[in-house]
Amino acid sequence: MGCSIMLAVLFLVAAADTPGIVQTDIIQPPKLRNAAKVLSYEDYPDAALREGAAGVVSVALRVSSEGNATSCAITETSGYEVLDKTTCQLMLRRARFDPARDAHGAPVSGDFHAATSWGVGATFPTTNVKLDLNVNQLPASYRGPVKATVLFGETGRVIACDVSDSSGDASADQAVCAYATRQLALAAPRAVGDLVPAVAVRYVIASLHLQQPPRHD
């Protein structure tokens, strides 16, 4: 039986989502250096495979000024404890970071959010949201889809949108995030722990298409 696991990562500092942590001086969030080596299909827990457990796990990692992950909180549970725990354990053990930087370029501690999809075959969930948006005119500098990482809060509404891959046009990028904020919603995520804010991570891929004028036959 084949299986596939996707690790999706978010380079975004979300201080407002972490009680008691002030990060207003951070201008560059932590960056994961080894995304391809953090999780693989070989990490799928045997018990989860036998049970048919599948789902999305979103986590918040605290990254020290030395680039070490020091804590992991489940901000969106998969509904299966074994998948939640495995995600945090492996992220803490394997993830390697460049630390966040403040306005002076000095390394500081910061938060890192990531989403991981676990599943086999038809049960494999996705963290991607694909959008096809019609526009009256394509910007001259538009060169391809906008890729953005979106955070959904405890109500399932968008609380943050970060463009990770520009379309080539800043106004188009901003318009996609504005659209996502207005139109997208998820079922309210559930965190693990009373003091952990619920945050789900998803990845928007938005393509702009020139709207064709109506035909008059």
φ, ψ at 53 (rounded to 5°): -70, 135
Please give the structure tokens belonging to residue 83.
């998948």
Count of domains for the chain: 2
pLDDT tens for each residue of 132-149: 999 999 999 999 999 998
Last residue of a domain, one of 125, 145, 167: 125
Residue 163 neighbours by CB under 8 Å, 6+ apart: 146, 147, 148, 173, 176, 177
Q: Which residues pair with 94 in a beta bridge?
A: none
Residue 215: other Cβ atoms inside 10 A: 5
Which one of 125, 160, 176 terminates a domain? Answer: 125
Answer whether residue 215 shows pLDDT above 80: no
What pLDDT score does 138 carry? 92
Is residue 3 in a domain?
A: no
As given in the structure block, the two tokens for residue 48 are 């989860």
Residue finishing a domain among 63, 92, 125: 125
**Do the strands 200-210 and 128-135 form a parallel or antiparallel pair, or are they unpaired?**
parallel
Q: Are residues 203 and 154 in the same domain?
A: yes
Domain that holds residue 90: 28-125
pLDDT of residue 41: 87
Residue 189 domain flag? yes
For residue 176, what are the CA distances in angstroms to 46, 81, 148?
A: 40, 35, 8
pLDDT at position 216: 66
- 4 assigned to some structural domain: no
User: Mean per-residue pLDDT for 156-178?
Assistant: 95
In this structure, the answer to whether residues 108 and 166 fall within a common structural domain is no
pLDDT in tens, 31-88: 899 988 999 889 999 999 999 999 999 999 999 999 999 999 999 999 999 999 999 9
Top-ranked range on mean pLDDT: pick from 14-18, 29-33, 187-191: 187-191
Same domain (yes/no): 33, 58:
yes
The whole-model pTM stands at 0.82
- Residue 50 is part of a domain; what is its CATH number? 3.30.2420.10
Is residue 179 in a domain?
yes
Whether 108 and 182 map to the same domain: the answer is no
Beta strands (DSSP E) in the chain are 4-10, 26-28, 31-32, 55-63, 69-76, 97-98, 100-102, 107-108, 110-119, 128-135, 146-152, 158-165, 200-210
Mean pLDDT of the chain: 87
